[in-house]
Amino acid sequence: MDVDGRVAIVTGAAASTGRAIALRLGTEGAHVVVADVDAPGGEATAALISAGGGRGVFARADVRAAADLEALVAFAGEQGAGRGPHVLVNNAGGGGHVAPHFPDASPAQWGATLDLNLRGAMLATQLVLEPMRRAGGGAVVNVASTAGLGLGPYVSPEYGAAKAGLIRFTATLAGLRERMGVRVNCVVPDWILTERAEAELAAMTPAERAAAPEPLPLEAVAEAVVGLVTDEGLAGRVVVLRGRAEPVLLAAEE
């Protein structure tokens, strides 16, 4: 898909990874709808896109609220004069580092993590399918995490389960390419060099820094997302990103 002139929603785009993805789509010519609960940050991202010669507009949306997502998709359609959105990046997420975690967290606490990291992406995807089909097709990219891979213990079971669910959710939707013209794919980043990661690195001892994994540049995540949006040969596929290593496209049966 050529994203030039297409309407793209990026959730959680007020800062860090979401901002990098939104900016990259803007440089590719997309009309980017910057969605986030952080209005000042979201407005700043939209302004940066416009300052770079692109088109960006902010829309406040909490992906845990169905009404917000419905309004977001409708708003994005208006930006495309009734056509679209053509691209959805389900980037909003987080909370895996915030204690308490399951089983010490209350059902409301761990449920909110599931809503933010899994249910919101599922609902947003469901809501864009018909508008994308009417627009001639589209692309959805889910942003998961390596916390959802493997069988080892993890500090936040609810976060790991949500990201694992997002990966499996993606793979099950490969058939939507033939059914509705919509391709759903997923990027699975390891530790990303966000502002929080930079602070964590700064607080480490030299020995701790040496033992820490190589953080993934924000631009690498944005590059992988745009690659999945534009590559029409991929549907229901998962790309794992680690440090400065080459992206790994998991086999369809993995």
209 belongs to a structural domain:
yes
DSSP letter string, 163-183 = HHHHHHHHHHTTTHHHHHSEE
116 belongs to a structural domain:
yes
1 belongs to a structural domain:
no
Position 254 scores a pLDDT of: 56
The CB-side HSE value for 174 (13 A sphere, CA atoms) comes to 12
CB burial class (10 A; 0-12, 13-18, 19+) of residue 231? middle
DSSP letter string, 25-87 = HHHTT-EEEEEES-HHHHHHHHHHHHHTTSEEEEEE--TT-HHHHHHHHHHHHHHTTT----E
pTM (2 d.p.): 0.95
For tokens 């860090």, name the residue. 16
224 belongs to a structural domain:
yes
The CA-atom distances, in angstroms, between 240 and each of 143, 191, 211 are 10, 11, 21
* 118 secondary structure, DSSP code: I
Strand-strand pairing, 7-11 and 87-90? parallel
Position 97 scores a pLDDT of: 85
pLDDT at 214 > cutoff 90? no
Position 107 scores a pLDDT of: 98
- For residue 7 the two structure tokens come to 């309407």
205: CATH: 3.40.50.720
> Quick check: is 154 catalytic?
no
Q: How long a stretch of residues is the chain? A: 254
The CB-side HSE value for 217 (13 A sphere, CA atoms) comes to 8
Q: Which amino acid is at 199?
A: A
Q: Distance between CA 68 and CA 76 in Å, rounded?
A: 12
Q: How confident is the model at residue 5 (pLDDT cuts 50, 70, 90)?
A: very high
Active-site residue, selected from the candidate residues 58, 102, 110, 159: 159
Is the CB of residue 67 less than 8 Å from the CB of residue 120? Answer: no
Is the CB of residue 1 less than 8 Å from the CB of residue 228? Answer: no
Total number of domains in the chain: 1
160 belongs to a structural domain:
yes
pLDDT at 53 > cutoff 60? yes
Q: Which of 52, 12, 58, 70 is nearest to 34 (CA)?
A: 58
The mean pLDDT value of the chain amounts to 95
Largest CA distance in the chain: 56
Position 193 scores a pLDDT of: 80
Position 253 scores a pLDDT of: 66
199 belongs to a structural domain:
yes
In terms of residue numbers, what domain contains 109? 7-249
* 66-104 residue pLDDT tens: 999 999 999 999 998 778 999 999 999 998 888 999 999
Residue 192, φ and ψ in degrees, nearest 5: -100, 140
254 belongs to a structural domain:
no
Per-residue pLDDT averaged across 148-162, rounded?
96
2 belongs to a structural domain:
no
